[in-house]
Structure 1
């Protein structure tokens, strides 16, 4: 039986959480951290073991025990017959997805203070789609794109990205001390060291989850209404609707893509926005940015780059090559630029759209 240190357990009097000992993964690290965001589990001790008798003493068990029964607080997904998915999705759940499906709304409320209603429902779905589902897929061996499809399309990676994920970071916490030191330790010391590494991994992944939830609630949700209003007014700036003007910087991309899919496009209006304008700061005389819209959310290929002649050019040289006063810069990759005034940024967007 492996537990957190006795000194720490004296301070933890909440319902006992159980998970497996040995090599750990991102899904149970996240599952445990999400539970501990709830008042019920805020002071819960954790036992890491594969002993059924010990697990039977736990109030809640995640990722071990070969049982999924929310009525008994058992959330394992390794049993052969397990096929549960999050509503509206196709990825089989891991322990992270199971805990989120059953406790996610309560966790979001605990973190953000959101009341039950449409905003909470929207955020619950969004956090699963953009954050949790990747944990489920990773733990169940699901690729973003099937290797056979990549092979059929004759596509290969431009670089190796296996180490560039939350799952890979959590995996690194499994690395123990030097072999000689490890072999000299008692089994109890070895287990205590392993448990300490899991605790650090769980704290890390829990912080990433909390940051995601807080940012979505603070910035992403309020931006929905603002982007919708700007989208409705886009023809005021360009008859073809290719330019979106926002009152300040905000997470606009998700909302724009959704509006384009859901809204009828009037005759003579472009189906897609090409550029988004927003001020750098909230100050009255702020400089303005022009951002090319990506072809897909999160991608690096734009619907239309800023003109090649502008790329990597700054200040007076940019004003001269563009013929538009007040130029500040255009990134060498052509996805973003700036002007000293709104009128200058708008002129740049119109010139780029017509180029």
Structure 2
């Protein structure tokens, strides 16, 4: 397993070949990496990435530059070498969890594929991860060796991939916690989380009636947060009372009558007290406020 020879092209590198090699580091604890376009060397390699003009997962050939490419997703995004590697090894990298593997593909892999293949419609603008990887290439003013820079980029990509997997795992595991909180809410309009977990997608998927989320902060205090009207929207299903806007401590305590009230954001989407009881009082008052 550890004496594999992996080949990718030499010279200038991109996010797809860098992330492909970073992915394989999760499968093989060590391997011999060769960066070349020498066909004789390529033919003898165990795994070939982004070079060689062939896609055949059975023989571990993962190029997409040949005529006709190497296929595309149902949404039309073509596969680059990273996507091809992820198709074969993504599930194993994610410890057999298909939902996590799919989430990483949707959030990371497919975006890098899209940019590499020029299929950029719908891809967020700004400095992309693909551009960041490209900046690891040495400039014409530097004496750095391409292979050394490639290895630095792989180390960076490995860390990014690890965090994407962790984030996907956290979001997926949070679904069960939030779903349980919705199911067991004393009032379906106020959902209480015993520990903060990402909740917006699950709440929007499972509850049309939830208005407020109540949860503890990292410092042990408690928060009440409004549920957005739509995912990504700054409009809320029901904002907190207008009279609370921008107030804190004594001023907020005077208006609410809650002696441990701490703050209310001027945008009326989040407020907090020192105790669970105080935050639940905020929720009860907010529910009574006229829409």
- The TM-score range, normalised by the shorter chain, is 0.7 to 0.9
* CA apart distance, 1:73: 0.5
Distance 2:100 2:53 in 1: 30
Distance 2:210 2:121 in 1: 27
Say whether residues 1:226 and 2:177 are aligned partners: yes
- CA, structure 1 residues 73+277, in 2 after alignment: closer, same or farther (shift >3 Å)? same
Distance 1:290 1:79 in 2: 55
* CA apart distance, 1:307: 4.3
Say whether residues 1:65 and 2:52 are aligned partners: yes
Equivalent residues in 2 for 1:1-355, closer than 5 Å: 14-38=3-27, 41-82=28-69, 84-86=71-73, 89-109=75-95, 116=96, 120-143=97-120, 145=122, 162-163=126-127, 165-176=128-139, 179=141, 182=143, 193-217=145-169, 219-234=170-185, 236-237=186-187, 241-260=188-207, 271-281=208-218, 286-297=220-231, 299=232, 301-304=234-237, 305-353=239-287, 354=289, 355=291
Distance 1:330 1:322 in 2: 11
Please give the secondary structure, in 2, of the residue aligned with 1:50. Answer: coil
Please give the secondary structure, in 2, of the residue aligned with 1:250. Answer: coil
Assess if the C-alpha contact under 8 Å between 1:28 and 1:63 holds in 2: yes
* CA apart distance, 1:276: 1.4
Alignment TM-score, normalising by the size of structure 2 = 0.86
Assess if the C-alpha contact under 8 Å between 2:236 and 2:269 holds in 1: no
* CA apart distance, 1:288: 0.8
Distance 1:337 1:314 in 2: 9
- CA, structure 1 residues 54+108, in 2 after alignment: closer, same or farther (shift >3 Å)? same
Assess if the C-alpha contact under 8 Å between 1:166 and 1:205 holds in 2: no
Assess if the C-alpha contact under 8 Å between 1:67 and 1:77 holds in 2: yes
Distance 2:61 2:44 in 1: 12
- CA, structure 1 residues 296+204, in 2 after alignment: closer, same or farther (shift >3 Å)? farther
Distance 2:253 2:38 in 1: 71
Distance 1:257 1:69 in 2: 41
